[in-house]
Every structure is written in C-alpha cells, then in structure tokens.
Amino acid sequence: MSTDSKTRVVTTYRLREMKSRGEKISMLTAYDYSMARIVDAAGVDVVLVGDSAANVMAGFETTVPMTLDHMIYHARSVTRAVKRALVVVDMPFGTYQGNSREALASAVRIMKEAEADAVKLEGGEEILESVQRILCAGIPVMGHLGLTPQSIHKYGTYAVRAKEQAEADKLVRDAHLLEEAGCFGLVLEKIPAVLGTRVSQELEIPTIGIGAGGGTDGQVLVIHDMLGINNEFSPRFLRRYADLYTQMMTGVSRYVEDVKSGDLPSRIPPERTGAVLIFAGRPAALFPAAPENEGGSSDGLSGDRSLEITRRRAIGGIRVGRSG
C-alpha cells in the first residue's frame, strides 16, 4: 500500500485551524471496521477508538478491564477502514499511570501495530511525565479532563465533576499544563458548561466536550448511545439520532418468523418484491419492480433504471436489496 493512502485528510494541525476559524469539530467512537467505515464516510472529523469498547462491545461495567492488546485489536480494525478522519486511540488503564517508560512503550505499540494517528490519556498533572515522554517520541497526545472513567473507583459515581471551586481550579491548571506540554487537543467530560467554555476560551488547542456544554470547540459521543443501539444509557447530554435497537429487534424478529414459517427462502422472485437502491451508503430510491413484460430488463427493473444501476455499479458503491 502506498504512503499516500495512509495519509489522513484530517490532521492535528487541521484541528487547530478549525478552532481558529470557529469551525466545530465532530468526533465519534468506533471499534470495528464496518462501523468505522460508515462514520468516516459520513464526514466525522475525529474517530475515537475508545476504551468504552469495554462497555458497549464487551459488556463490562467499567472501562478498567480493557487491556493494551484489546485496544490494539480494535484500533487496527478501525484504521483499516478510515481514510479521512484523524484516528485517536485511548490508552487503557494501567498502561501509563505512574510509569512513563511503560507509557511510552504502550504508545509506541499502538502507533506501530494499529497505525493510529494519536493516543489519548486521562488525567492532568499526575500523568504529566508520561505525556511528556510520549510527546518526545513524536507521538501526538490528546488529553482528557473532568470525569475520567478509568478513575471511576476513585470517584464512586459518574456525576458531574469540578462543581466545587477547588476542583474547577485544578482542572483549569491541568488544562494549561497539558497544552504547555504539547497536547494537540483536550476532551472535557461532564463538567459545568461555564467551566467548559472558560477552558475552551483560555486554550489555543481545541477542546472536545461530552456533557461539557456548547462552549467547547467540538463534541464527542459514543456511537452506540448516539444511534440508539444501547437503549439503557440516557444521560441528559445525549442526543439520539436513530433507534437502531428497535429497528434491529424488528428486523431480527421478522427474520426468525420467516425462518420458522418456512417463508425464507422466499418463493417469490426478489425482482418482483420491490427494491431499494442504495448508493454511497444511503437509500437513493424506492421503487416497485416492473412487470416481466415491461422494460426489457432481466432483473425486473425498467430499462432506464437498469442502465443507471449498471452505470453506478461501474463507479462503485452500489447494491440492490429488498425494500420490505
């Protein structure tokens, strides 16, 4: 594979440019090839291979059980799919806290084995040495302050952080330390909106918020939450853009019914059931199949539509599927 094919359109430099011109940054999680391909094609700026995979992919209560090997496995799947977005990978719990040499070795493995673009670490002054050592190796680092899920056993709750003045002051101080160390960006999770705005205004590097108000330079969500695959998690900051849990339940239930009843495989030729034209990942048209004596097309579509499908298939990214 050529070097050019590995060069992302979105870089750490471009994110800083986006902040300077007031363009908001979109960030979503992805953990596998198929989902990452969709997220990237949809135009997301940053794809986060988050240790939240522990929750939504593996069913753990916290992110703590994720290992470095787990993260590399997920990250390798994502980087194979992403062509445009910047790919940032969470460094899992225990790979950077208290040992900067181990932190560097872990970051190097992520960059080499997963071909990631950057790593993300949770914490401020207490992990500064690890951040500096990783940065000295030329590896881009994104910080993460506020609610840090890897420290959930310390907090004992997922409630909003930095509501008290002392903790808010420390967060601001840590944000400046991370910027001065060389971090290219900062995630702010579950902090008061006014604090998120303040930090974003004081820093030159972009901030990405999750439950930190609209004053940050961008937003990030866990894709399973945003698409409604996980229907058991509904924090106030979450906006759902789909209800895939219900849609998938309906689809799978219909499949089971069709198998049990003997209706699958269908005796009705698929060309007579209607078709959905899907191009570049989006439904482009819904149309009934033409009668056998119309259109002159062997696939049941009109001649013009058959030609259009052939043309689009030639340029890539098309498939025909059942509409119902």
18 pLDDT more than 60? yes
Sheet holding 282-287, edge to edge: 282-287, 275-279, 318-322
Reported as a pLDDT band with limits 50, 70 and 90, residue 234 is confident
pLDDT tens digits for range 170-210: 999 999 999 999 999 999 999 999 999 999 999 999 999 99
pLDDT at 93: 98
Mean pLDDT for the chain overall: 86
pLDDT tens digits for range 129-182: 999 999 999 999 999 999 999 999 998 999 999 999 999 999 999 999 999 999
Contact present, 57 and 75 (Cβ < 8 Å) = no
Which distant-in-sequence residues (6+ apart) come within 8 Å of 279 by Cβ? Answer: 312, 317, 318
Active site residues: 189
Section 103-121 average pLDDT: 98
- What domains are there in the chain, each with its CATH number? 4-244 (3.20.20.60), 268-324 (no CATH)
Quote the CA–CA distance of 122 and 154 in Å, as a whole number: 13
Section 112-119 average pLDDT: 98
292 pLDDT more than 70? no
Quote the CA–CA distance of 298 and 176 in Å, as a whole number: 66
pLDDT tens digits for range 245-283: 999 999 999 999 999 999 998 765 555 455 454 444 455
DSSP secondary structure string, 188-222? EES--HHHHHHHHHH-SS-EEEESS-TTSSEEEE-
241 pLDDT more than 80? yes
pLDDT at 270: 55
pLDDT at 281: 47
Quote the CA–CA distance of 92 and 148 in Å, as a whole number: 12
